[in-house]
Amino acid sequence: MKKIQTNINLLIGSAFGLGLSPVAPGTFGALLGVLLHVLTVVFLPNNLHVFVLTFVLILIIITNHLLTPWAQEYWKSGDPGHFVLDEVAGYLVVPILFHQGEIWQIALWGFLLFRILDIIKIPPARQIDRHMKNSWGIVLDDIISGGYAVLLMYFLLWIGQKFHLEHILFTVN
C-alpha cells in the first residue's frame, strides 16, 4: 500500500513524469501548465477560461502544500528539483492574468518568459527561494515569477502597439 501511495505522489508531484527529466525538470514540468492552459481554451467557452484556470491553480497550490513534506523526504531536499507542481502553478498565472493575443502567442511567450524569470529569480522571488524552505517558499517564488512574466508581456504588448509590431508579438483583436 505504501508503494502505491509513493507512486501516486511521484506521478502527481512530478507533473505526470515531466519533472523526472534528467535535464531541466522544472522546464519540462511547466509544460503541464501549458497543456492545461491549451486544453481549457480549446474545450471550454471563453467565459470559463479564467475561472477554470484559477480553480486549477488553487488545486495545484493545495496539492503542492499537501505533498511538500513527502517530496522533501523522498528527494532529501528542501526544494526538490523533480517536484514541479510549483512550475505548473507559476505558468498558470500567465493565462489567468494575460488575455491579449492568440493562444499560441500567450503560451509561447508566457512559457519562455516565465521559465527565464523563474531561473533568474528577480527579488523578492530570490529571497523567498533562498529563505523559505517550506511549501509556501517552494510555490511562492514561481507565482511571483509568473506575475513578472505577465508584466513583461504587457510591456511587450505596449511596445508592439507603439512601434506597430502587433502581429510579431501579439495579435490584438
SS3 136: helix
For the entire predicted model, the pTM comes to 0.94
Q: Which of 53, 158, 46, 65 is nearest to 95 (CA)?
A: 53
Report the distance separating Cα 169 and Cα 173, nearest Å: 13
What digits encode the pLDDT tens for the residues 80-100? 999 999 999 999 999 999 999
Q: Give me the domain span that covers residue 37.
A: 2-169
Percent of the chain topping pLDDT 70: 96
Share of the chain above pLDDT 90, in %: 87
Residues 94, 110 contacting (CB under 8 angstroms): yes
Structure confidence by residue, pLDDT tens digits, 45-81: 999 999 999 999 999 999 999 999 999 999 999 899 9
Residue 166, pLDDT score: 63
Q: Is 101 exposed, middle or buried (0-12, 13-18, 19+ CB in 10 A)?
A: buried
Place of cell 527565464: 116
Query: Kind and range of the H or E element at 125?
Result: helix 125-131
Q: What is the total count of domains within the chain?
A: 1
